């Protein structure tokens, strides 16, 4: 039986919050309580106060109009100066940190800003902070709850911990807070599991060079055990039919560096998209912007498709609308669409959506035609280790050299050099020096050398031999010639679902039920009693957490495996989402002191 969409779905979260709010008791996300308690009994609740994290979290779940429909008309920043409104009650939704608690206490300590406070923490509030609140503000606090949700739902099957800084904290040799960062990530993963009502078995990828995945697995398993020691009925919760796999970014350095040709990955790599906002100019020269998220159903439909399909499908969709309104079918361009929109107000919204993606796809294709198409063949040959005909690449330098001799941007040449080094599992110091001279980055060699901090071999001796991991045979799969590479994490997902992960390479920190095989057959046979969340799905859940960031092709893999298997839902997450540029910036910064920031040189559009 196929799953319903994962409960991480933004739409699902929004619907649950608003639905539960209407029931009068509490806002909820999944199982844990959230936000408005005894709502109908306190109709004057109109102010909500948020910190930066909860602002993002709430924005991912609902719009301002949703809050207004529940009589919340004011949303304020916890750390900004606010006018007192002593006749009103306030909802505080915040992280359990000293900074947040101090700001809360300041609102009530001398002269109360509000009549009463309804306090909701994203996670467990330490006793010292709780006692401090009680000491100064007890008579004003009507509700104080911990809701167990300090992760960010990005997409239906993707989450982050909203912490790009974790990369430096974990991998920089100058880091002072690695242990604290791993502790925080572990707490966030526990709240994810609690929200999904899962108590998974925990496994990690063993690596002789790196110990971070093991350390995080130990922390998560220990914290999960403590969290589930007693459930609401007073009984100890047993393991559920779920697995949590923890891996490091160094497991697959290739995927986040390659030029991807699927729509979402390509757009975020080649087009200037910030905070999921695409800015573009309309034909009349006015500035426009569009948010690329789950609310845009066309984006959700197209984002994992190859750019060739997207470029073909969008004009077809526009032609269908045009035909419906008896418009001539001519060539579809942005200016034609502008004319159609003026003539057909009823179709304006539909056309606007398609216009955005026609423009974005055109932007992607412009970059592709200029440079990327020629780069992709060399990149794919280096990554896969063979050409389109399946002939093994015997001399990767012959594949790389044309890229170095062509006037590509420095950024693109660095990416190609890295793929060459990854293909050989490292190169000699002498060879690397020549490559760096070729690319003219003598003063920026950290873009390449610092990968060693992730456990990725960069400099090796001529006699060094590294056994490359065996990849799944995909020779029979239909692929585009310039999209032959498959992310390593997709192999891991499929092996996990088929119960083929080697226990020596993937030790169990703790095991899930012995019969788990990811197929869903076990659950059906055992008549596993569904909880309120489980009744929307059958089978098992596989949760993957990548230390050091995930890229868009890895996110896509979670959907592809779920779609192929049907009986096992794959969810993927990390501290943050990577683009090739942001990853290279992070890599370079690893050798710098925390006070310094450096960015990769601007890409040339030439």
- DSSP code per residue over 204-240: E---SS--HHHHHHHHHHHHHHHHTSS-TTSSPPPPP
Give pLDDT, residue 28. 31
The β-bridge relationship of strands 277-281 and 273-274 is antiparallel
Per-residue confidence (pLDDT) for residue 19, from 0 to 100: 41
Alpha-carbon dihedral sign for residues 522, 525, 527, 532:
positive
Q: Which fold has domain 13-149?
A: Rossmann fold (3.40.50)
Give the pLDDT of residue 447.
96
Contact 214, 206 (CB under 8 A): yes
Q: Mind listing the pLDDT tens digit for each residue in 181-192?
A: 999 999 999 999
* Cβ neighbours of 173 (radius 10 Å): 9
**Rounded Cα–Cα distance for residues 89 and 112 (Å):** 11
pLDDT of residue 339: 63
pLDDT for 510 equals 83
- The dihedral formed by the CA atoms of 31, 37, 39 and 41, expressed in degrees to the nearest 10: 130
Q: Which of 502, 421, 521 is nearest to 466 (CA)?
A: 421
pTM, full prediction: 0.83
Residue 372 DSSP symbol: I
CA dist., res. 124 & res. 187, Å (int):
9
Report whether 110 contacts 76 (CB < 8 A). Answer: no
Of 572, 568, 548, give the one whose Cα is nearest residue 497. Answer: 568
Chain segment 226-249, per-residue pLDDT in tens:
988 865 556 678 888 899 999 999
Report the pLDDT value the prediction gives residue 597, as an integer from 0 to 100: 45
What confidence score (pLDDT) does residue 478 get?
A: 74
Q: What is the domain partition of the chain in residue ranges? A: 13-149, 153-252+487-514+537-590, 263-454
Tell me how far apart the alpha carbons of residues 308 and 314 are, in angstroms, rounded to a whole number.
11
Q: What is the CATH number of domain 153-252+487-514+537-590?
A: 3.40.50.1910
User: Which has the closest alpha carbon to 361: 428, 405, 299, 406?
Assistant: 299
Q: What is the DSSP letter of 459?
A: B
Low-confidence ranges of the chain (pLDDT < 50): 1-42, 515, 519-538, 595-606
**How many alpha carbons fall within 13 Å on the CB side of residue 163?**
24
Asked if domains 13-149 and 153-252+487-514+537-590 share a fold, the reply is yes
pLDDT for 351 equals 73
The correct answer on CATH 3.40.50.1980 for the domain covering 263-454 is: no
Sort residue 440 into left (φ over 0), alpha (ψ -120 to 50) or beta: left
> What Cα–Cα distance (Å) separates residue 229 from each residue in 31, 235, 236, 237, 243?
17, 8, 5, 7, 19
Tokens of 18: 């608003």
């Amino acid at each position: 039986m196929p799953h319903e969409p994962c409960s991480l779905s933004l739409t699902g979260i929004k619907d649950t919050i608003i639905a539960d709010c209407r029931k009068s008791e509490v806002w909820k996300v999944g199982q844990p309580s959230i936000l408005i308690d005894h709502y109908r009994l306190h109709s004057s609740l109109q102010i909500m106060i948020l910190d930066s994290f909860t602002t993002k979290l709430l924005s991912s779940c609902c719009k301002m109009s949703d809050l207004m429909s529940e009589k919340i008309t004011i949303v304020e920043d916890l750390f900004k100066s606010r006018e007192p409104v002593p006749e009103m009650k306030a909802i505080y939704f915040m992280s359990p940190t000293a900074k947040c608690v101090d700001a809360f206490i300041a609102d009530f300590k001398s002269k109360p800003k509000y009549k009463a406070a309804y306090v909701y923490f994203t996670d467990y509030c330490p006793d010292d902070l709780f006692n401090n609140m009680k000491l100064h503000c007890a008579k004003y606090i009507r509700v104080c709850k911990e809701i167990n949700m300090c992760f960010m739902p990005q997409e239906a099957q993707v989450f982050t911990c909203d912490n790009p800084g974790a990369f430096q904290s974990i991998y920089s040799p100058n880091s002072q807070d690695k242990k604290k960062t791993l502790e925080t990530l572990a707490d966030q993963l526990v709240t994810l599991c609690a929200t999904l009502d899962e108590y998974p078995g925990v496994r990690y990828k063993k690596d002789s060079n790196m110990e971070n995945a093991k350390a995080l697995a130990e922390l998560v398993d220990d914290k999960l055990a403590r969290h589930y020691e007693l459930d609401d009925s007073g009984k100890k919760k047993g393991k559920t039919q779920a697995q949590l796999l923890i891996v490091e970014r160094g497991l697959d350095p290739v995927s986040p560096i390659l030029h991807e040709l699927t729509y979402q990955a390509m757009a975020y790599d080649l087009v200037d998209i910030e905070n999921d906002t695409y800015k573009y100019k309309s034909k009349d020269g006015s500035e426009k912007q569009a948010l690329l998220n789950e609310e845009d159903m066309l984006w959700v439909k197209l984002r994992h498709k190859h750019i060739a399909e997207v470029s073909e499908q969008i004009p077809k969709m526009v032609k269908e609308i045009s035909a419906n309104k008896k418009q001539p079918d001519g060539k579809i361009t942005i200016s034609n669409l502008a004319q159609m929109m003026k003539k057909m107000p009823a179709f304006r919204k539909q056309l606007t959506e398609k216009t955005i993606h026609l423009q974005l796809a055109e932007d992607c294709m412009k970059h592709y035609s200029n440079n990327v198409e020629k780069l992709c063949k060399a990149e794919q040959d280096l990554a896969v280790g063979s050409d389109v005909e399946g002939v093994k690449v015997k001399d990767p330098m012959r594949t790389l050299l044309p890229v170095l001799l062509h006037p590509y941007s420095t950024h693109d040449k660095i990416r190609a050099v890295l793929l060459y080094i990854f293909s050989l599992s490292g190169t000699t110091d002498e060879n690397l020096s020549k490559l760096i001279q070729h690319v003219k980055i003598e003063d920026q060699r950290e873009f390449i050398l610092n990968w060693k901090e992730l456990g990725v071999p960069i400099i090796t001796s001529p006699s060094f031999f590294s056994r490359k991991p065996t990849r799944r045979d995909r020779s029979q799969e239909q692929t585009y010639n310039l999209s032959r590479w498959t992310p390593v994490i997709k192999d891991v997902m499929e092996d996990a679902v088929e119960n083929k992960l080697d226990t020596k390479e993937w030790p169990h920190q703790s095991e899930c039920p012995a019969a788990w095989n990811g197929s869903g057959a076990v659950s059906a046979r055992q008549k596993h009693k569904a909880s309120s969340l489980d009744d929307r799905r059958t089978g098992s859940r596989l949760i993957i957490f990548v230390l050091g960031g995930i890229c868009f092709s890895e996110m896509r893999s979670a959907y592809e495996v779920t779609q192929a298997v049907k009986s096992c839902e794959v969810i993927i997450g990390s501290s943050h989402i990577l683009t090739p540029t942001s990853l290279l910036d992070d890599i370079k910064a690893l050798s710098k002191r925390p006070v310094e920031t450096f960015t990769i040189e601007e890409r040339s559009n030439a």
